Structures are given as structure tokens and as C-alpha cells.
Structure 1
């Protein structure tokens, strides 16, 4: 889930940045420190939205830099369990499909693609349902639910597990097939009465 946080931090502005406007120097330093980094509490920090307030301005003996207390807004993405995401398939492999979650990638294991038995078609590089013949390939847009999250110190180490087995998830065309099939089943069962 994307969130905006207001954070406070002490910012060290080195002497070579004294010629810049104070707010611009602080914004640049904050962007270098936070953006595109994983924080176990905040998630992936995508951008510093702006500096709200700067106060202080003190010097530490033996250090030529100036220190300021800054309040700023940042935008982050933190994957949450049971969150439903719409995503593009970035790759299909023997054990499942990788989905783009913005700054992260998540994995839908073969067993979580559909209720059908799914196998990997190596020639076409796609996943195929045994009975339904549903196909999942690179570039498909799907809806998936986050079922596991393992936040680690870096973006590459962070793992997100997804599922598309629940009704309403997967490719939109799969859900249209399901609705059509259930509608026919209901009509035929009502005729028997």
C-alpha cells in the first residue's frame, strides 16, 4: 500500500553546500539518504515529497558542517497481507509468475495461479491450466492478493508472495468465463425443478 509519512530527522549539511539555499541543500541530502531504500518500518521509500519545516542550525565541534532539524514528507510502498493489487506479469518461469508491484516484484507460485493444475509451457514461455486451458504470460495484467511478506534490509532481499486463486482475481477474462459458467449452471439446475 502506498503511504505518505511525515518524518523528522537531523540533517548534516556539509560546507560545500553552504552556497545553496538551505531548503534545497536539505532536500538533496534527504533524497540521497532515503529514496530507493528499504526501511523495515516504512517499506520502500519512493520519494521525498518536500521539506515542511527546518529549524535549528548548530555546529558540532571538530565538524565544519551545519546541522538542522527537518520535518519532511515521504512517499513509500509497504506491501500488506491481504492487499489486492493489479499488476503486470514480468516473467513466467517453471515455478510460477513474477508480478511487478511498483518498486518490488512478487511471486505467484504455480499452486496459487488458479484452482486448476498449472504447468509451464517452455516453448511459449507461459503457464497453462490443465483443464481450463487458461494461459498466463509475460505482459498479462492480473489482480492478485498478497499472502506473504518478508521485509528485509534491501529491496532485492524482500520477498512478496501472491495468490490468484480467489474468485475475482487473475485475468479479467478468467472472471468473465467463471460468471458465464455459473450462470449456465444455475439455469440448468432451475429447469430440473
Structure 2
């Protein structure tokens, strides 16, 4: 959660609506999904702390208000352990949705075992242990590389690994816990 100061434009068609509600909606439309290298990805503007008196600009019927608002950001951190869902399997690895962003687990980082790609099934299969990774699987991984570029998530790259104890598909983690108890 971060506090930000800015100016918000309220169009004349919205003058009858509650000012704070319109300001939050306008700020969300303007900023949701924007990326800042220091703060991360802006997920939501959820609260207005201060809203100044509106000012009019000649030739524009809208009112402009100084605002101080709170915004929620998602910023992945190096070595952070994060849960996510496998959204796509490719020959070179698995794309994992981690909150509002996606990361990649390269095939070399799925398990210690040799991995084969099953094109028919769209899955990654470990040769010796027969562990499988399919679209829709829930996984726990560690962030090993981050590259935040521009102001867009399109050029953002997040590298993940699941090759450590306590990481991988949730079923693998539970199975390892059961084996450890025996």
C-alpha cells in the first residue's frame, strides 16, 4: 500500500455523482495495470485520503482536483516464495500466474529429474519419478530472476524455480511431507 499525490479530472457528466466515488473510479481507469520499477504493478486505487477543491480550466468543462490516495501495488521480490497456477505448458517450461503477473518455470527448474514434454497432453512429465505438471495445477515456486521493463507487464520477465524442498506442485509437497513422516 502506497500513498500517492496527483490530480484527477472529473468530467461534467459525473458532477452529480459522489465526488470520492468518481475520483476512485477515474484513478483506477487511469492507473490500474501500470508498472513502476520501484513500486511494482498498480493493482487498485482503493481509498482517497484528501481531495482538494475543484478547479476549472478554460475550454474544458471538467473540474480538476488535487488528490492524495492509497494504491495497492504487487511487487515480486527476488528469492520470494510464491503460490500460483500453471496457465500454460510449453516445450521449454510452464507459465505460472502469480497474482496479477506471470512467471516462467523453465524445464530445467521443474524438478531434479529429466523432463519430457508431452505435446498431445500439453504436460511436462518427469522421466524417473513420473511427476507431471499440467495446465491448472497449483504450484509453489521461488522467484529467481526479475526483469521489470518499461511501464508494461508485456516486457516483464519473472523466472521461477521449483527445484528445492517444499516447492513444486502442491501434491508433490504433500507427498514429500508424508514420506518424511514415515
Say whether the fold is shared (TM-score over 0.5): yes
Distance 1:69-1:94 versus aligned 2 partners, 3 A rule: same
Alignment partner of 1:129 is 2:129: no
Please state whether the residue corresponding to 1:65 is helix, strand or coil: strand
Cα distance, 1:74 vs structure 2: 1.3
Q: Count residues with an aligned counterpart.
A: 181
Cα distance, 1:110 vs structure 2: 0.5
Name structure 1 gaps, 5 residues minimum: 185-193
Aligned match of 2:14: 17
Alignment partner of 1:88 is 2:85: yes
User: TM-score, normalization: structure 1?
Assistant: 0.82
Report 1:141-152 matches (<5 A).
Answer: 141-152=138-149
Between the aligned partners of 2:127 and 2:21, the Cα distance in structure 1 is 58
Aligned match of 2:172: 174
Instruction: Give deviations 1:96-142, integer Å, cap 9, x for gaps.
Output: 01111121111100011011111211222211112222111112111
Instruction: Look at both structures and tell me which one has the larger radius of gyration over its CA atoms.
Output: 1
Alignment partner of 1:59 is 2:53: no
Between the aligned partners of 1:46 and 1:176, the Cα distance in structure 2 is 32
Name structure 2 gaps, 5 residues minimum: none
Aligned match of 1:111: 108
Between the aligned partners of 2:74 and 2:99, the Cα distance in structure 1 is 8
